[in-house]
Amino acid sequence: MKNVAIAGATGAVGQELLVLLSERNFPIKSLKLLASARSAGKTIKFKGEDIVVQELRHDSFEGVDLVLSSAGGSISKEYMPSAVKAGAVVVDNTSYYRMNPDVPLVVPEINPLDIKKHKGIIANPNCSTIIMLLPLFPLYKAFGIERVHATTYQAASGAGAKAMEELRLESVALAEGKTFERTVIPHQYAFNLFPHNSSYNDGGKTATPTGYCEEEWKMIAETHKIFGDNNLRVNATCVRVPILRAHSEALNIRLSKKTSVAEIYDVLRNAPGVEILEDPSKNRWPMPIDASGKDPVLAGRVRVDQSQENAFDMWVVGDQIRKGAALNAIQIAELL
């Protein structure tokens, strides 16, 4: 039984962490819910019990064994060292520690043993990366991958609970012919889409190639770290679409070994965390509403890429808040 704290408990991922801790019967001795001063004093129900939200502070972690952190990168940077100092292990959902060589970056279905190398913090990968890698890793193992390109269709949830609410309100306002003032998302989001709104210039902190946004760079660099293969050729185009909580991705994969569509389906059928969902006769393929609130990454539409040798296209959809964030973090905590 563990003393658990959630940093960012009132957020989109924090709320899902609570659902999953309860659903999966995580062995909890005590549960501390931490958020900003704005939320301190609010109550949140967990397994029928009201828990009062406390302000996240440096001294919040006394006696805590496990911190699930999803309050944003700058908050993790500021507070998680205090959690480690207090003796807790942190599973961090933000991007802040992901590329730190002392911090394992883990997808339990792919590199569970990396957890053993932790020095107090384990990072949860980027949501689009996790959703791409669940079907990609078994193909990588079975056939080898020459290159992969992902185009993402990303939901509002990746930008947090406030962005989801803004999408809902903006959709209603525009449908009624009213104007809407945005405060979270930079462009019209309802009835529109735009290339991902992460930074296109991260101030030279990483080797972000010119013209890429941070989200695209994360998919490339994190894949290398999780697979332990810096030579894998990965590329991405990230797009936000007006969907609430599940990301879709079109993957174009060139394999090393000559392979057929049927062999790919065979591998995907046995891939942990992946489910095939399709009925071509009804034009039925995985959709964000199929994946929302569900654990598996849904895959389908595997077909030959007519434009190059031994290359295939496929379509995958996964719940950004679940497998893309909270579920992966809880699976890491369960492994711990």
Minimum distance of ligand A2P from residue 162's CB (angstroms): 5
Nearest residue by C-beta to ligand A2P? 11
CB 187 within 8 A of CB 97: no
Minimum distance of ligand A2P from residue 14's CB (angstroms): 5
- Please, which residue, 74 or 270, has the CB nearer to ligand A2P? 74
Q: Smallest Cα–Cα separation from 17: which of 336, 335, 332?
A: 332
- Please, which residue, 147 or 162, has the CB nearer to ligand A2P? 162
State the burial class of residue 19 (Cβ atoms within 10 Å of its Cβ: 0-12, 13-18, 19+): middle
Residue ranges binding ligand A2P (CB under 6 A): 8-12, 14, 35-36, 38-39, 56, 71-72, 75, 160-162
CB 90 within 8 A of CB 83: yes
- Please, which residue, 162 or 301, has the CB nearer to ligand A2P? 162
Minimum distance of ligand A2P from residue 284's CB (angstroms): 32
Minimum distance of ligand A2P from residue 159's CB (angstroms): 8
| 190: Cα separation from own chain's centroid | 22
CA angle 251, 189, 214 (to 5 degrees): 50
Give, for 291, the enclosing helix (H) or strand (E): helix 288-291
State the burial class of residue 37 (Cβ atoms within 10 Å of its Cβ: 0-12, 13-18, 19+): exposed
Minimum distance of ligand A2P from residue 13's CB (angstroms): 6
Give SS3 for 240: strand
- Please, which residue, 154 or 223, has the CB nearer to ligand A2P? 154
Task: Tell me how far CA of residue 121 lies from CA of 36, 57, 93, 118, 218, in angstroms.
Answer: 21, 18, 11, 6, 19
Minimum distance of ligand A2P from residue 207's CB (angstroms): 27
Cα separation, 328 vs 336, whole angstroms:
12
CB 247 within 8 A of CB 152: yes
- Please, which residue, 70 or 259, has the CB nearer to ligand A2P? 70
Q: Smallest Cα–Cα separation from 124: which of 334, 336, 326?
A: 326
Minimum distance of ligand A2P from residue 155's CB (angstroms): 13
Q: Which residues contact 248 (CB under 8 A, 6 or more apart)?
A: 152, 153, 241, 286, 287, 288, 315, 316, 317
The residues annotated with a catalytic role in the active site are 127, 247
Cα separation, 332 vs 107, whole angstroms:
8
- Please, which residue, 22 or 36, has the CB nearer to ligand A2P? 36
Query: What count of Cα atoms within 13 Å lies in the side-chain half-sphere of residue 2?
Result: 21
- Please, which residue, 38 or 119, has the CB nearer to ligand A2P? 38
